[in-house]
Amino acid sequence: MTADPRISDADPVPESSGWSPERDMNVDAPPGQDGSIVALIRRAVAEGKIYASAEASRQKLRAAHYVRMAIRIAVLGIVALVLLIGALVALLVGLIVALAPVVGAGWATLLVIAGTFVVIAILGLIAKARVRALVASIASGKTAA
């Protein structure tokens, strides 16, 4: 006997409606493909792998593009530095040539070299102070000015 008094064990099993879940799952499936959940998950995983592969290729292309740009920038920077060094050498030679008639060639060379060392020392002290400020800001966790 069942728990519901309206239904007895003697009642016949209702007629089948004709609906079956197996048949319904295949309704929206593309031709030749199973529309089951497992098949849908497999298809989603396969499409995800294709997408991931395409995205990885895209990112590789972007990275290669940025590397090429960085190389071009570095080459331009190196050429600019070489030209700057050449200009500084020409400036120092010009100073020696300009001072030579006044104080003599030897003294002109010595004065230009001494002046260059003074400029180097000043720039070195400024750099040293900035490095110390940077190290102190890193140690304290604050932003350096």
Longest dimension (CA), the chain: 132
Q: Pick the closest to residue 97 from 109, 111, 85 (CA basis).
A: 109
- Residue 36 CB burial class (10 angstroms; 0-12, 13-18, ≥19): middle
Q: CA nearest 21: which of 32, 33, 37?
A: 37
- Give residue 38's pLDDT: 87
Q: pLDDT tens, 102-121? A: 999 999 999 999 999 999 99
Q: How many CA atoms lie within 13 A of 55 on its CB side?
A: 6
Q: Are 26 and 34 in contact (CB under 8 A)?
A: yes
Residue type, 68: R
Q: What residue spans define the domains of the chain?
A: 32-140
Q: What is the pTM of this model?
A: 0.52
Asked if residue 1 lies in contact with residue 9, where contact means CB atoms within 8 angstroms, the answer is: yes
Residue labelled with tokens 């060639």? 105
Give pLDDT tens digits along the chain (145 positions).
Answer: 456 656 555 555 555 566 555 555 555 556 556 668 888 898 999 999 999 999 999 999 999 999 999 999 999 999 999 999 999 999 999 999 999 999 999 999 999 999 999 999 999 999 999 999 999 988 887 765 5
